[in-house]
Structure 1
């Protein structure tokens, strides 16, 4: 358990701080260039099957299965290097690091991500996000089911959760109630899909781009100004 302040910011990674849709498009282009359309489709079919079964994205696990039947293809090693050496820092949304640093002046910042236990922390390290939160990183299979471990790791009177998935925000709001402020960042394909969804409850705060939070003061995250210091 780490010492925290009165407010903990729980920050998602993919399509919140990091443009994962762009990363997926770049992987698609690399697959097309090195293997062709049919093999590209086979890779993404394996990826989708793994994600449905495991509950998280597993790019390296998909590559392990993808290699079967084409072990002699030297492009396999090039694709492996491409995934590991991808310029993750360049994939951050404009102003993402600056926003994390700003939020760190308002409270304790924590990366809270879904993902596998190898590639996802690698991405967070290589992007600079790990350093930006001083190593306060949590990675789960389904973070919406982990409210107790999150609170045990970073206890605080109040939490602010920043994510691109409003359904996940709603699920966490049901668990933490008024102790949680939910911030919906309208970026990426999950955010676009949410336009046609009925949300209960709706996010407390909605922004179009992550860098908008870089201009927020602490009371902006709560309409009742509950964070104001006592006189």
Structure 2
């Protein structure tokens, strides 16, 4: 797992915002009853960056008061552009920091948590001296354009007023987020030159890097509403409308349905453990190693037969039939004890409990599984899920019960997470507005899930889901 403990954040918040129409520091203009910088700071906190520096300038005391004590501050004495603001912030960065994440406090309110985490991870993997966030805008007016060479590599960011007519038709724009190698940044930021308006542009650092033959990493936003700049009154009004829709969706009650086997629990490893315990029990009872190994095979064959007949896993019935076949009915209680006292929590997939906790932060969690009503509830308790979930439903035939479950939570935003494509497809058939998350691991991983349709996601680990949750439920 990638960690961000060597990354500091610098938020540029010293601008006036005079084009919006009021005499306020730009970052204090309201979006849904909060200063717009509130959303930038909340995002950085949720990402988990340890050092946060806000560069303030115009009416600095008001900005500092509105923010409170959530960060450190750097003061920009003169409005000399974003490059100068970054230099002011850089002087406050802790010596052991290796990378610097930079964003504008007036246009970073709409980035999703997963977007910034993925952006940071991309930078750490590629180890470039500069990474930039880009987005394609239907109307790119007012944004700096991304210039690339014939091989698709970023060459520079050109501000709109300096772009040619051809350049202005380019719809890939600068989303206002950067990541720098701190050492490279400290060695180069003072080389920035003033532009015609007497300011230093942070975007010129991109051209500086490419002129050295350095590759600039670019990370593209897939949702243009995340890259939303606010420079005029109309944009502020639209920003409030976008945030209103996001709040309304986030406040809508959410229910997460999640399976157990091969979703949270590595049932393959659990089965190996149970096989070993069954073998040892029979070997010690019958004192016949050859028969013990054979009996283990007979048990799982009986398990599959019972499952095929009833349509679901039934451990008590499997044991009853097995001891009759083995002519050792006195083993019934001991066999059942193996299943009821198994250390289920030792076979959880990595991050299983962490995922459930994250789901709980966003809504309510309900286990939705197929099986018998003896073994499955014991499994839930053994996995340490009992206090982490809202409820559970165990059915002999899950597909036939899904319409009832959907109806129970009518009016809720419903998200189902499971490894079985068949269950996901059936759920989506019953509730066309549901979101389906396929956990591609374990026994059923070879089956294909159609991702071309909307509201469908697929991940190969629970950690990936945890990182991308905000994107899933947006």
Return 5+ residue gaps in structure 1 as ranges: 226-231
Q: Does 1:163 align with 2:412?
A: no
Tell me how far 1:168 sits from its aligned partner. 1.7
SS in 2 for 1:112: strand
Worse overlay, 153-162 or 79-88: 153-162
Whether the 8 Å CA contact 2:440–2:458 is kept in 1: the answer is yes
1:36-89: CA deviation from partner (whole Å, max 9, x where unpaired) = 222112111111111001111122221111111545476554433221110112
- Is residue 172 from structure 1 mapped to residue 419 from structure 2 by the alignment? no
Quote the offset at 1:34 in angstroms. 3.4
Q: Secondary structure at the match of 2:349?
A: coil
Q: How many residues align?
A: 214
Q: 8 Å contact 1:167–1:199 — kept in the other structure?
A: no
The 5 A counterparts of 1:45-60 are: 45-60=301-316
Determine the structure 1 residue equivalent to 2:352.
Answer: 96
Alignment partners' CA distance in 1, 2:452 and 2:442: 21
What CA distance in whole angstroms lies between the structure 1 residues aligned with 2:408 and 2:338? 34
Which of 238, 243, 260 is the aligned partner of 1:13? 260
Q: Looking at secondary structure, tell me which structure has more strand per residue.
A: 2
| CA distance 1:145–1:217, change in 2 (3 Å) | same
CA distance in 2, matches of 1:184, 1:162: 6
Q: In 2, distance between residues paired with 1:198 and 1:90?
A: 29
- Secondary structure of 2:255's counterpart equals strand
Aligned to 1:212: 464
Partner of 2:296: 40
For 1:94-133, what aligned pairs fall within 5 Å after superposition?
94-133=350-389
Indicate yes or no: 2:402 matched with 1:147.
yes
Q: Is the 8 A contact 2:323 2:331 kept in 1?
A: no
Structure 1 runs of 4+ with >6 Å offset: 200-203
The structural deviation recorded for 1:146 is 2.0
Contact conserved, 2:259 with 2:369, CA < 8 A, in 1? yes
In the alignment, the residues of structure 2 paired with residue 100 and residue 110 of structure 1 have an alpha-carbon distance, to the nearest angstrom, of 10
Structure 2: segments with no counterpart, 5+ residues: 1-250, 283-291
Structure number with greater CO (CA < 8 Å, separation at least 6) is: 1
Q: Does structure 2 conserve the Cα–Cα contact (< 8 Å) formed by 1:8 and 1:156?
A: no
Q: Residue 104 of structure 1: CA displacement?
A: 0.9
Separation in 1, partners of 2:257, 2:395: 13
- With the length of structure 1 as denominator, give the TM-score of the two structures: 0.83
CA contact (8 A) 1:170 1:201 kept: no
Counterpart of 1:24 (choices 267, 271, 275) is 271
1:136-173 deviations in Å (ceiling 9; x for gaps): 11111222222332123333332111000112211211
Return the structure number with greater helix share.
1
1-structure distance, mates of 2:308, 2:451:
25
User: Contact 2:406 / 2:431 at 8 angstroms: preserved in 1?
Assistant: no
